[in-house]
Amino acid sequence: MKNYNLTDLDAVLAISRRGSFRAAALDLGMSTSALSNAINKLEKQLGVRLFNRTTRSVSLTDAGRNFVEQVTPALKDIHQALDAVRSQQETPIGTLRINTFATAGREILSPLVLEFLRRFPSVQIDLVTEGNLVDIVADGFDFGVRSQNLVPTDMIAIPLAPPRRYAVVGTPSYFENHDLPRIPIDLLSHACIRTRLPNGAMFRWKFESDGQPIQVDVDGPITLDEASLARIAVLDSIGIGFFMESDVYEDIERGRLVRVLTDWTPPISPLCLYYPSRRNPPAAFKLFVDLAREIARSSKVVEGMSPKIP
């Protein structure tokens, strides 16, 4: 009787879910070639092809579709059993996968992720930053970190910090040659650093007055898709930039950047760590949640906001 590897079965589900060997390999923490070899070996053992593969697409064969439908509930039961055993670990081990976006990743890296690794060096963390909002369960993540208003309602959420704010900034030398904008519409006469969203659309700068949202489609000499690059351009006096306050706070405090339009950027939703309910979470998972709650308490965040906090 042939032996089948649990990892190979998980790989089949990952490819089916992601529709791509490359994306599935990233989720599984292995190379695309290693994943392809594992699937080739499994298909030879089974004596059937599970996937139709071309240079442009991957799809399940009829046999593969039937296989996925039947093996999925069985693998779910197996992983729940493994979680139940891991929950009894005295020393936390394993890998925690977290999905977030770049700015949030910078905000949580030191106080949460690196602090956790200092306390529990036997655990590894795989932190993935991407602009698109994903289904953390379907994509194989333990946790997500997003703005509170983007957390799915069926998730448990822990606010990690007080509400955040946007910041509109430019260098002192830039404003030596340009009038300070007094209202958002004034930005149309300024050079602004434009940003592109993951879906390809241009980001419109967001403001608020008397509870009414205002968006400005700014113009400028350069378009970027990452806040760290935009910060470099602003610090070089190319134009005005629009950031999360945390990305430029130190620059403002040290006088490298001048903040404008503060009355038009009220607080917005805080960042939340969120995750699905799990019957028997592994020790590492539980300890990570404990640390997040510790941070929430130290930040004096009120644990009564929606989504719920158990």
Domain of 207, CATH number, reads 3.40.190.290
53 pLDDT higher than 70: yes
Residues 292 and 146 in one domain: yes
pLDDT average, residue stretch 96-102: 93
Note whether 96 and 127 are within 8 A (CB).
Answer: no
- Domain of residue 105 covers 94-163+270-298
Residue 89 located in a structural domain: no
Q: Are 42 and 8 in contact (CB under 8 A)?
A: yes
Q: DSSP assignment of 191-245, as one string?
A: -BEEEB-TTSPBPPEEEEETTEEEEE----SEEES-HHHHHHHHHTTS-BEEEEH
pLDDT band at 30 (very low <50, low <70, confident <90, very high): confident
Residue 87: its pLDDT value, please? Answer: 63
Counting the structural domains of the chain, the total is 3
Asked whether the predicted pLDDT for residue 289 surpasses 70, the reply is yes
The mean pLDDT value for 34-51 works out to: 89
Using one digit for the tens of pLDDT, what is the confidence trace for 176-198?
999 999 999 999 999 999 999 88
**What pLDDT, on the 0 to 100 scale, is given for residue 5?**
79
Would you say residue 69 lies in a domain?
yes
Residue where one domain finishes, among candidates 15, 42, 75: 75
Same domain for 57 and 203, yes or no, is: no
- What would the mean pLDDT of 288-303 be, rounded to a whole number? 78
91: pLDDT strictly greater than 90? no
Mean pLDDT, residues 66-74: 89
Domain-embedded: residue 303: no
Q: Report whether pLDDT(1) > 50.
A: no
